[in-house]
Amino acid sequence: MPYIVSTGVSLPKYKLSQEEAKELIRHLFPRKQSELERLLPVFDHANIEERQFIVPVDWFKERHSLSERNHLYIKEAISHSIEAIKDCISNNTFLNNDVVPNEIDCLVFVSSTGIATPTLDAYCINELGFREDVIRMPLFGLGCLGGAAGVSRVHDWLTANPKKSALLVNVEFCSLAFQKEDKRISNFVGTALFGDGVSCALLIGDESELKQKGKGALPYIHATSSKTKLDSLDVMGWDIRDSGFHVIFAKSIPKLVDTFWKEHVIGFLVQNKLTVDDFSFFTAHPGGQKVLDAMQTVLTCEKEKFAFSYEILRNHGNMSSPTVMYCLRKAMLSKPVSGTNTLLTALGPGFSSEIVWLEWKQ
């Protein structure tokens, strides 16, 4: 089974505190003052202190076409993807020696906040000098699910190719979907939650020669599971218009954690003969405070088991697909001892759930 050897990130340079974001929305959104004051507390209850964006605050004050947004997406995604890859393969916290691009056999690129053909992995291949026979696997439209689902799909490929290696890159610029004239409550809630982020992870098959470059115990993928709820296409996604991507974000998501996700995670534990007590912590995509609260209730465990998820939510907000990979990075930086188990899990458009069982092994 595959291992996760290293992770890297690239942080956008513009920072905005939650209080600053709240004041910005107070002046930008086209709502009556009384209605606005009723909705603004969502910023206070989001458990977010700061978010990072690829655009400065003045950008949010202007109108932007889909074309303008997408050109900015391509430009920034190429730059940040390259930086995240470099941070991952030359990271002396996780690696004894650097990994060079020509040692990578597969490049999986996950994103849902912009469109490019050729997909942006092709630009990274040219810029960083990957081999011409590197396998390309671009995945679009997975949204918040894309971090966990990306790990699962790389797991599948490496299980079939145990001597190989792969990079999983997650790129999301949710700021580019900001729509100041969209009056829907789901858009308002999105402005209180979403940020920008980029991550990269190095995964290897269990017979890969690159394993010797990893330091200490490494997360080992025991099992993965995917589940999609029928007739739930309107729960989460994008409505794509001339003005750009408009968020679809149903208020029923926390309730679906208590029903759909509960059935998935309990079934996964039973199938693998596991209990909640087998896990030292949970690496959950922090879709928001209410989602984490619902997951905690389902698993009947203390809040501390979601500490990495709460930390990432507090410092970065919901970055869509990279968010759970930021949580995993925090977990790996804590240097879990051999035998430590976690569940990496996320929810996304479809409406879908992904679960990955990881155990640190020497």
Q: Angle at Cα 38 formed by Cα 33 and Cα 42, nearest 5°?
A: 120
The one catalytic residue in 88, 106, 124, 144 is: 144
11: left (phi over 0), alpha (psi -120 to 50) or beta: beta
Phi-psi region of 321 (alpha: psi -120 to 50; beta: other; left: phi over 0): alpha
Partners of 52 in beta bridges: 15
Please state, in angstroms and rounded to a whole number, the distance separating the CA atoms of residues 321 and 199.
Answer: 9
Q: Tell me the pairing of strands 218-228 and 236-241.
A: unpaired
Show the beta-strand stretches assigned E in 11-98.
Answer: 14-17, 50-53
In single-letter form, the type of residue at position 301 comes to: C
Tokens coding 111: 């994103």
Beta bridge partners of 171: 198
Helix, strand, or coil (residue 137):
strand
Contact 109, 125 (CB under 8 A): no
* Cα–Cα dist 15/18, whole Å: 10
144 is catalytic: yes
φ, ψ for residue 194, nearest 5 deg? -90, 145
What DSSP assignment string belongs to 145-166? GHHHHHHHHHHHHHHHSTT-EE
Degrees to nearest 5, angle at CA 35 with 34 and 39: 120
Catalytic positions, written as ranges: 144
